[in-house]
Chains A and B, each alone.
Chain A
Amino acid sequence: AQTVTQSQPEMSVQEAETVTLSCTYDTSESDYYLFWYKQPPSRQMILVIRQEAYKQQNATENRFSVNFQKAAKSFSLKISDSQLGDAAMYFCAYREGAQKLVFGQGTRLTINP
């Protein structure tokens, strides 16, 4: 079965600085999707960014970008110019089959003012 591992239970960063959250996954598939979701204290799951495995170019959404290393099965999230509103749990997810998502354990990100 596919697995997703987030090795950093907690991370903190100073406001306006850059932070990178790590994610690795295990799969034998060649075509798949990867996602980062944000879960603030409201518990709402919010899609941050997604990456198609067949695309070599790293996805970018404003201050959020990924470093997708397919051979290494690594999918890290970089948050630039961190803002207080970025504080949340961040979950990496792999799409398995027809829309079934496999989530990592999460990384709690704290932003220090």
Chain B
Amino acid sequence: NAGVMQNPRHLVRRRGQEARLRCSPMKGHSHVYWYRQLPEEGLKFMVYLQKENIIDESGMPKERFSAEFPKEGPSILRIQQVVRGDSAAYFCASSPLGANVLTFGAGSRLTVL
């Protein structure tokens, strides 16, 4: 079992470009969560998805950010027209239905120049 796989591990974008971060959950996990970690801070919840459904996006900025978890393929966190304040580590976690514990990926570090 390969665990939660995130890629890329590091992504550099210039202001105004788009960033796409991918997350493949653990085998058998149907729930995916995205968290953002700014430097020297704890993780902040962004969005919770099941296959083809967004369950809770209360932590997602209203503009420029979107997330999906299609029937086939990884979950994608998309940030349009990135700004310097988007520079952070983005963590994905997954769990099976009804589980009490999330398993985290290693994170994707986005740097906006």
Contacts and interface: CB of A to CB of B under 8 A. Distances in A.
A80 to B, nearest CB: 23
B45 A33 contact: no
A100 B33 contact: yes
Interface string B34-65: 01000011111100100000011001000000
A100 B43 CA distance: 11
Given A44-B104, A45-B104, A98-B48, A91 B56 contact: no
Interface residues of B, number: 26
Interface residues of A, number: 25
B41 A99 contact: no
A47 interface: yes
A19 interface: no
Given A105-B41, A106-B41, A99 B104 contact: no
A37 B59 CA distance: 20
A17 to B, nearest CB: 26
Nearest to B104: A45
B83 to A, nearest CB: 22
B111 interface: no
B100 A45 contact: no
Interface in B76-113: 89, 91, 93, 95, 99-104, 106-107, 109
Given A33-B100, A100-B45, A103-B42, 17 more contacts: A4-B42, A35-B101, A43-B89, A43-B107, A45-B93, A47-B103, A52-B100, A93-B42, A98-B55, A100-B33, A100-B56, A101-B33, A101-B43, A102-B45, A104-B42, A106-B41, A106-B42
16 contacts: A4-B42, A35-B101, A44-B104, A44-B107, A45-B93, A47-B101, A50-B101, A91-B42, A97-B56, A98-B48, A98-B55, A100-B48, A100-B59, A103-B44, A104-B42, A106-B40
Interface of A: 4, 33, 35, 37, 42-47, 50, 52, 91, 93, 95, 97-106
